Amino acid sequence: MTTMDEDRPLLEGIRVLDAGTWVAGPAAATVMSDFGAEVIKLESFEGDPLRQLGEGPNALPCDHNYFWVLDGRNKRSLAIDLKSAHARPVVDALVARCDVLVTNFRPALAARLGIDWPRLSALNDRLVYAQVTGYGETGPEADQPGYDTTAWWSRSGLADWVRRPGGPPAASAPGMGDHATAMTLFGAIMTALWARERSGKGRRVTTSLFANGLWSHGMLASMRLCGAALPERSAETAVANALATQYETADGRWLQLTLLNEEREWPRLVTALGIPALADDPRFATLQARREHAPVLHQTLAAVFIRHPAAEVRRLLEAASIPAAMLTTLDDLPDDPQALAADVLTPVADPRPGWQQTIASPLWIDGVAKRAPGYAARLGEHSDEILAELGFDAGERQRLYEADAVRRS
């Protein structure tokens, strides 16, 4: 790993092979690219399946492949048939020159394709091999295919817990668990690179969608593991705490109220809402009383919030330093002043109509500038230049194309 220089990208000189598909593994490589790592995306001739979600027959009309421009940014694309024996020298040349390989192939498939840890570590003992699985590497479900909707969302208990009492299970947003898992893998990769600075040796790091889902659900899971009674869920007990729940406003928006320091915040809340007498109501005078009468307090506050539009509610609560947030819709996002000011939405390197900004990777380091997101590559866009960089001359490259081991766009 290169030494830190505030005038250079933090991960400049680190080479990453993104040999994964979909999101959980590849998105970790995307974060590395944001900090200056060189990332080469290995893709089948059909391309990463994620491409097809944003440009296939079921995609919504758009000038951009909306999923691919997010997770495919700042990567070069090499279209290669890993099943071809002719492709093996290309893979080996890449591995010999890289620092990190990311994959979410199950071990048996990785071995068949020649990108398994035992083989690659023998080629390059400094390699950090980063692998995502669905359910972990051992156990009765270890060989089951896993996606974030199954292994992260459903199998972890999250989908069951967030459902409304008596209602059907909730669906997750696309890639929700994948992106969370990618950050775990990124942390594991960086830890292994730091360990390599000390030992000179690479190592394999792993994580799973299931493990990350349970970690996300960890507070309630810990209650159960410790033998505590889980909060009862029914229509009658849906609101156990009227000061940590949601309220509708006059214009159909919703507010999440979360008062965790009630002794200090409860008086400020009733003053801000213009109902100071409520603080003296014996049903709500103490924390215990507010819990015992939570349904009544919820109804009382709901009748207040529904009389005010969202902008007014937000102004009143912000002025009183009450912890709350309006439920943001995706239509709010492009002009969200906080997201823009905090670089959560970040400008792209090559703006074009409909693609002016994108979502930043969710970490920042003092004195380190991130790379502006570049437009995602076409399938096989960089195949020829990558082969040339590896030392394959024009004749050798042509033979790889004729053998249909590698393709270029």
Domain boundaries, the chain: 15-217+343-407, 246-331
- In degrees rounded to 5, what are phi and psi of residue 388? -65, -40
Distance CA 183, CA 137 (A): 19
Are 206 and 131 spatial neighbours (Cβ–Cβ below 8 Å)?
A: yes
Distance CA 71, CA 374 (A): 11
**pTM value?**
0.91
Can you give the pLDDT of all 409 residues of the chain as single tens digits? Answer: 444 555 688 999 999 999 999 999 999 999 999 999 999 999 999 999 999 888 877 788 888 999 999 999 999 999 999 999 999 999 999 999 999 999 999 888 999 999 999 999 999 999 999 999 999 999 999 888 899 999 999 999 999 988 877 788 889 999 999 999 999 999 999 999 999 999 999 999 999 999 999 999 999 999 999 999 887 766 555 688 999 999 999 999 999 999 999 999 999 999 999 999 898 899 999 999 999 999 999 999 999 999 999 999 999 999 999 999 999 999 999 999 999 999 999 999 999 999 999 999 999 999 999 999 999 999 999 999 999 999 999 999 999 999 999 999 8
Residues 6+ apart with CB under 8 A from 386: 40, 76, 78, 94
CB atoms inside a 10 Å sphere around CB 190: 21
CATH code 3.30.1330.40 for 246-331: no
Distance CA 182, CA 191 (A): 14
- 21 in helix, strand or coil? coil
Topology annotation, domain 15-217+343-407: Rossmann fold (3.40.50)
Are 204 and 129 spatial neighbours (Cβ–Cβ below 8 Å)?
A: yes
Calculate Rg over the CA atoms of the chain. Answer: 26
Cα distance from N-terminal residue to C-terminal residue, the chain: 32
From 126, 115, 100, select the one nearest 199 (Cα to Cα).
126
Helices (H), 200-309: 209-216, 218-225, 262-272, 287-292, 294-305
